[in-house]
Structure 1
């Protein structure tokens, strides 16, 4: 049985749209999902034509598309809920705690000039310009010292914990890896 997309649209459009709307209760989402269903039908028209029961096959595509939709909605809402759980004060406190317990031990392993530059600029909230004045070095020297210190800090952390990154420098999933260094 050979069926083209126009015939499928004519014969099943309203039926599929009603089914989708019953699941989502949102007209805009219904239209988006229906469009995605028909994109899948167009991409897989050969498989659709080979199906023994066209209606059953189409509803299979709709169910899979709906499942994807609800998974994405659940992921989005749970991310939003997590972000809303922490106030700005709690987030800042958490960042300070992480810096103190996880980052500072690595900074303390750096050579003194880099350690001093990072501790002053990052933990005492002093600008690089003020650092230059305090250490009696040039502003560009202070900037270089801080930058090199950050590079050396990154190397220490990456070497210790064996994190991997993608071609853009982003960390790749490290779930299940235990970083036992301190």
Structure 2
């Protein structure tokens, strides 16, 4: 099934299309979410929320603004960042036992391998060093643009401009 056919079925709210959508993208989205949250249960919970958002808001997807995968990836990333900033997440972090840290470290290595397996990091590595650092902070670590600005000791406007340029460069690499 092509992505266009899948989207047509999703717009019609075909339940089989939801299953196909989940099977195609759940592992990639989970990897991004877990990479930010570092907690299996929370990542699974956010993943469910993400698929509900995708399903309910698919009409807001605009093909002329970018690829479908990029759109759903942004939904996943934003949902994970929202969870990170929530009070519940902060409380959960305070309650983690030492045993959980071993699991987190083991599982995190698997997630990093999954991200590497889908090749995202390899494409990012082809960018200039400032782009690698900005994308790492904003997309892989979930920093806000202001936090990235502080970390890089770079004006906020420069981070925003560099981010747009870096994403454009990454798109160009992916289109080749």
TM-score by length of 2: 0.41
Which entry has the higher C-alpha Rg, 1 or 2? 1
Higher relative helix content:
2
